Every structure is written in C-alpha cells, then in structure tokens.
Structure 1
C-alpha cells in the first residue's frame, strides 16, 4: 500500500463522484420543483425545439378558439336584432292585412294603421343603424359588403378624362367634375348599382410626370377615395409614352383593376385587369379560427343592409285598400330577405361552434404531446432523486473516510 501526502487519490475519486451526484441531485430538484423536464436548452436541445413549436401551436389554437367564440357571439347579436325585425315586419303585415279589409276598415282605421306602420319603419331603421358588436355595426350594410365590377369598360370609372403632352415633362390634368365610379352589388341582391366618389381633391389640378407629381396625385386621390374604402396606388412610366398607372383596391383586399392615365390629349384612361389579380370579389369579414395564416384558417361572414329603404318599405302605404294589398307583397319580400339573412347567420354560427369543438380537441391532443416532451414524470424523477440523495450521503461519508486515511502517515512519522 502506498501512502502519499500531496495527492490523496482516494479522496479525489470520492470528491469527483460526490460532485457528480450533487449535480444530478440539483437537476432532479429543479425538475421536481418546476414540474418541467426541460428547464434549459441543455436539458434536451432537440426536445426543446419540438416542444416550443407545439407550444406555439397550442397558443395559436387557444386564440383561434376565442376568435371563433367571438364569431358565435357576433352571430347571436345579429340574429337577435333580426329576430326583433322579423317580429316588427309580422306586425306590419298584420296591419296591411287589416287595412286591406275595406269592408270593415274605414279611412280613420287605415290612417291609424298607417301611423303605426311609419313608426315601425323608423324602429327598423334605428335597429339597422345601431346594432353593433363592440364598435362594429352589423346591419347598416358595412359588415361584409360585396363588390362586383371594375370589369371591362372605362365607363366604370366615370368622367375622368386626361389631357397632356407625350413628353416625360408632360403634365396631366384631372378635369373639374371628375368622379370615380365602380359597380356594387349588395348582399342578397342581383342588380348592380354604381357607387360614385367625387375626386374633389384632384379635380382641376395639373400633375407633372415626376416623382413629386406621382406622390401628389396619389395623396389627392386617396384623400377622397379612402372615405369610401377605396385605395389608389400611383406609379409612372417615362419616355414618349409617359403615363400614370393608378391601381385601385377595394377595402385593401384585391387589386381589382388598373386605370392608365395616358399622356394623350382628350383620351380617357383605359381600364384593364391588373396582373395576377381578380376583377370584382367579396369583402366578407374574416374570423381567424386556425393557428396559421392560410385562407383555410378563416371563416368569413357578410351581413347585408337591413334598413327600410333597401326593400322599399319606407315608401309603403296602407291608406287605401289597394295600397294595402301591394304592401302585403312588399312585406312578404322583406320577411323572406330577413329570414334568408337569419338562415345564413345561423348556418355560419353552427360552423363556428363546430370549429370551436374541433379546436378544443386539437388543443387537448397537442397539449398532451407537448407535455410528454416538456413535463417531468414525477414518479420517475423522484426515484432518481432518492437514489442521488442516498449516493450523496454515502459519498460524503466515503470522502471523510478517504481524508482520514492520510492520518495513518503520522504513525510512521512518530516511529
């Protein structure tokens, strides 16, 4: 047996094992106290990457479920208001049927019915203008308007006529009285109507084909168009065919068409499809019900305008028996429209609820997967901790024994 003073190998060995045991014990304490198997990247680098991805997905799905619930609440709000409108329309129809009974209803009775009819019309308009979800109006025609048009003719752009020269230094003048007109189809309707915006900020002004002129024209156009939900983007080309190209967008969604302001005297701009874009389109309001940014992760909904002017109710009269008969037909059409709108809202609400159920199932399953990677198996980790605790106690004892072994050298020195 060799007895050395400078290097006590037994003590060094005992210390090394004790340090390793202490480190393992501290790791177990960290995992047991936090509940996580991975507390830092060094615990499991690959597992950390996978679990963070799953955690992001779960967070996104939780938010999507809340978004879908917002959709349910919004649909219920709109349906509740339309349910009241239906009740009002049914009462109005009863009044029309009563007023058409000329054998018993005299002019005084029809006059009283007409007065009530007018008040009910006002209530429908009030409901249409004040029904909101948060600050978003639902029944005034602005929630999910549908647009068609900007299709093929310069007439769709109204009276914009451009004058100028063909040189790069040419100037372009927007005449007084210029308007931007586009075709619009209301939800549930088939007939297109024109929507017109006066270009009051740009009309009568002259713009040079320079960067400054391009910027000024774009600012002036948008000053008027943005109030109608239309955005204009202006670009310019130079040379003999100098021109401005104005690309219009509806509500910032689709590049529906472009309008080229060519530098030729008295020539109206030509309308054509923008590259890679669609002519027309819908502006349904979108609810994000998925964890990603694809169209498949959205549910869209549009609610039409539900005031009395849309269906001609505001001009309905039942003062005469013949008027009352016509009013019955008008009210039937209005009831059918409201019922169709409620049916669409109900169908979308059911879709929202199914989406919520699916999201909750996905959240449960993905959370289980993330937990299997990230969370501590408490029973397994407690077994490791108990083992390391015993090893720590034994290691401490053995280190003391190794240190005391060097004391035997003193007996040799005493001789």
Structure 2
C-alpha cells in the first residue's frame, strides 16, 4: 500500500458513506415526525398520485354523507307535518260521523260541530303553507329536491312531494257537516286532463239572476285559495252585467286579478282558471283547476275525508320510502369511507415499527461512519515519521 498525502481515499469513502447514512436518518426522522411515509413527490411519485386521488374521493364521500343526512332531515320534517295533517283529518272524520247522527242532534249542535270543522280546515291550510325546510316549502305541492349523495357526478337522489296538503287540494275545503242534505263536488279538470287547457265550472243559468246569486251555496277553490260563494255581495246588482261584474270583483279579490274569470255564456255563469303554459307540470294544472264544492252534508263529508286521508297516506308512504333509500345510502357511504381511508393509509402513512428499525440502523451507521472518518483522517499523519 502506498502512503500519499494529496488524496485521502479512506477519508473520502468514509465521508461518502457517512453522508448516505445521514440522509437516511434525516428521512426516517421526518417520516416519524409527520406520520407519513410519503411527504413529497420525490419520496414515491406514483404512490403520491394514487394517494391524492383517494383523498379527493374520501372528501367527496364525507360531504355526500352529510348531504344524505340533510335529505333525511327534509323528509322527517315533511313526515312530522303529514302526521299532524292526518291527525286533523281523523278528527274531522270523527266530527262528520257525529254530525251524521241526525236523530240525536239539533241545529245548534250541528253548527258547533261545523265551527270546529272550519277551524280544522284552517289548520290544514296553515300546516300546508308554513311547513318548510331551510326556506323551501314542503307541502304546497311544489317541492322538488335533488340531493348529491355520492362523490362523483350523477350520484344523486331526486325527491318530490307533488301533492299539496291544503284543504282545497285534499278535497275537504267545502266539507259542511251542518248541511242537512247530501251534496257533491265537481271539478272542471282532473289530473288526467290534458295539460295546457283551461279549467272551468258552470254554476247554472239561474246564477246570474238576483235569486240565483242569493241562492249560491258552497265554495270555489283555485290554487290553494277558496271563496265562499254565499259571501258575494249582490245587493246592488240590478242586471246581468252588474251581477257578472260583482262576481268578477269577488273572484279578483279572492284569487288575484285575472286568475279566475267569470263569463256569462247564456247557459249560466262559467268560471275559468288561468290556463298553464305549454309543457306545464301536473302541479301547474292543479293550480289552474277551478273546483266547485257544494255543501256536502255529514254523510258525504265522511267519504270526502276518507279520500283525503288516503291521499295523505300515499304521500307519507312515498316520503317513508325515500327516507329508507337515504338510510341505505348512508350505510353504504359509511363502508366506502372506511375502505377508502384504509386504502389511503396503507399507501401514505408510515409503518412506525418498520421505520424505527430504519432509524436505528441509520443512527448506528452514522455514528460508525463518523468514527471511521475520524480514523481515516489520522492515517496521513504517518508521513511525518518518514520525513523525520
């Protein structure tokens, strides 16, 4: 072996190996400090790309889980209101059954029953008008909600409550348990009618005479509002033209100007609702439908209320089915979140036990390399003995 001074080969080798061990120790300490195996793209470029994709998916799944819970909250709000709507209808039916017991009631008692029925109808309308979630009405027949229940585009659930819950929409706006005889309800257009056509009802030729106006009974319903025909002031109506103007004024006040139009066709008084635009929905058609309800009487009221209860039950069934769908989606999202988080963790998180082994190895090599570098730096000093 030659002894040289200008090139300390042993020292250079020791310094190189010491640098490698020091970088390994620094990297392991960083991983243990952060808890991540991949802290930057240089650590593992492909793993970083996969991990970021999984993190994006995981974030979307967590938000979708909250969205699904919002959907359940909306449906629970609607369900609670529908429960009370059905309770009101059950009470109305009880009163109708009681009022039908004509042999045991006088007119005053039947009038008292009708007073409560009127209050219950008003409560039905109040529930339908005020039930809302975050500013959106749920029971006026217009609710349509699209919920993003997945992490990707198109992962949605659509919820609609297309049946309005007002007394008019349920067909009980004209229920009159105090009326002695039976009655009937007639509508000019039904849900099966062609959308885009106007809806109208004819009240009969006598309606435009003074006696005809005075004899008007029942109510007109349109778009969730109603007008008691007996409330029309006809005292100053001297001829058919004036009487027609009197009816039109009452309609404009009750439903809005131009919403329901009164026409004298010669065959009677015809009331026509504003036709919906082409391509309108069933809800638009329902809003344009004019419904005339005569005083029903207690016996007929029972059938009308039964039909209303059945409608509410159908809507409650739809709401419950949608809620179950959200529940299943939440369960699925929970599993997806767990599995995605586990996959991302296996790629990106550091194995503490394995990394501690690397730290121990790198630490020993660093100490040994430091000692050997110091030893290698002492070797060239032997040249001084030769020069002495």
- TM-score (ref. length: structure 1): 0.64
Post-superposition Cα deviations, 1:111-156, rounded to whole Å, max 9, x if no partner, equal 1111111111111111111111111211122212xxxxxxxxxxxx
Residue 391 of structure 1 is matched in structure 2 by 365
Residue 80 of structure 2 is matched in structure 1 by 80
CA contact (8 A) 2:61 2:150 kept: yes
Tell me, yes or no, if structure 1 residue 302 matches structure 2 residue 121: no
Post-superposition Cα deviations, 1:321-364, rounded to whole Å, max 9, x if no partner, equal 43111111111111001111011100110110010001111111
Residue 309 of structure 2 is matched in structure 1 by 335
Tell me, yes or no, if structure 1 residue 286 matches structure 2 residue 140: no
Residue 14 of structure 2 is matched in structure 1 by 14
**More strand by percentage:** 1
What CA distance in whole angstroms lies between the structure 2 residues aligned with 1:48 and 1:342? 49
What CA distance in whole angstroms lies between the structure 1 residues aligned with 2:336 and 2:323? 20
CA contact (8 A) 1:100 1:321 kept: no
CA contact (8 A) 2:92 2:120 kept: yes
What is the total number of aligned residue pairs between the two structures? 272
Match of 2:351 among 377, 387, 401: 377
What CA distance in whole angstroms lies between the structure 1 residues aligned with 2:381 and 2:106? 128
What CA distance in whole angstroms lies between the structure 2 residues aligned with 1:412 and 1:306? 111
SS across alignment from 1:406: helix
CA contact (8 A) 1:99 1:321 kept: no
What CA distance in whole angstroms lies between the structure 2 residues aligned with 1:90 and 1:20? 84
What CA distance in whole angstroms lies between the structure 1 residues aligned with 2:59 and 2:340? 10
Tell me, yes or no, if structure 1 residue 344 matches structure 2 residue 204: no
Residue 410 (structure 1) shift: 2.2
| Correspondences of 1:42-61 after superposition (within 5 Å) | 42-61=42-61
Residue 314 of structure 1 is matched in structure 2 by 173
What CA distance in whole angstroms lies between the structure 1 residues aligned with 2:81 and 2:96? 23
Residue 22 (structure 1) shift: 0.8
What CA distance in whole angstroms lies between the structure 1 residues aligned with 2:11 and 2:40? 32
SS across alignment from 2:173: helix
| Correspondences of 1:60-139 after superposition (within 5 Å) | 60-139=60-139
**More helix by percentage:** 2
SS across alignment from 1:43: coil
Post-superposition Cα deviations, 1:290-343, rounded to whole Å, max 9, x if no partner, equal 11112xx11111113111111232221111243111111111111001111011
Q: Structure 1 stretches of 5 or more lacking a match?
A: 145-284
What CA distance in whole angstroms lies between the structure 1 residues aligned with 2:301 and 2:16? 98
Residue 109 (structure 1) shift: 1.1
CA contact (8 A) 1:114 1:318 kept: yes
| Correspondences of 1:165-314 after superposition (within 5 Å) | 285-294=145-154, 297-303=155-161, 304-314=163-173
Tell me, yes or no, if structure 1 residue 405 matches structure 2 residue 379: yes
What CA distance in whole angstroms lies between the structure 1 residues aligned with 2:115 and 2:4? 117
What CA distance in whole angstroms lies between the structure 2 residues aligned with 1:321 and 1:402? 120
Larger Rg: 2
Post-superposition Cα deviations, 1:7-56, rounded to whole Å, max 9, x if no partner, equal 21111111111111111111111111111111100111111111111111
SS across alignment from 2:157: strand
CA contact (8 A) 2:137 2:143 kept: yes
What CA distance in whole angstroms lies between the structure 2 residues aligned with 1:112 and 1:5? 122
Measured on the aligned residues, the alpha-carbon RMSD in Å equals: 1.2
What CA distance in whole angstroms lies between the structure 1 residues aligned with 2:105 and 2:384? 131
SS across alignment from 2:37: coil
SS across alignment from 1:300: strand
What CA distance in whole angstroms lies between the structure 2 residues aligned with 1:330 and 1:30? 76
CA contact (8 A) 1:129 1:139 kept: yes
CA contact (8 A) 2:37 2:348 kept: yes
CA contact (8 A) 1:99 1:320 kept: no
What CA distance in whole angstroms lies between the structure 2 residues aligned with 1:314 and 1:5? 112
Post-superposition Cα deviations, 1:45-72, rounded to whole Å, max 9, x if no partner, equal 1111111111111111111111111111
Residue 357 of structure 1 is matched in structure 2 by 331
Residue 391 (structure 1) shift: 0.6
What CA distance in whole angstroms lies between the structure 2 residues aligned with 1:46 and 1:113? 78
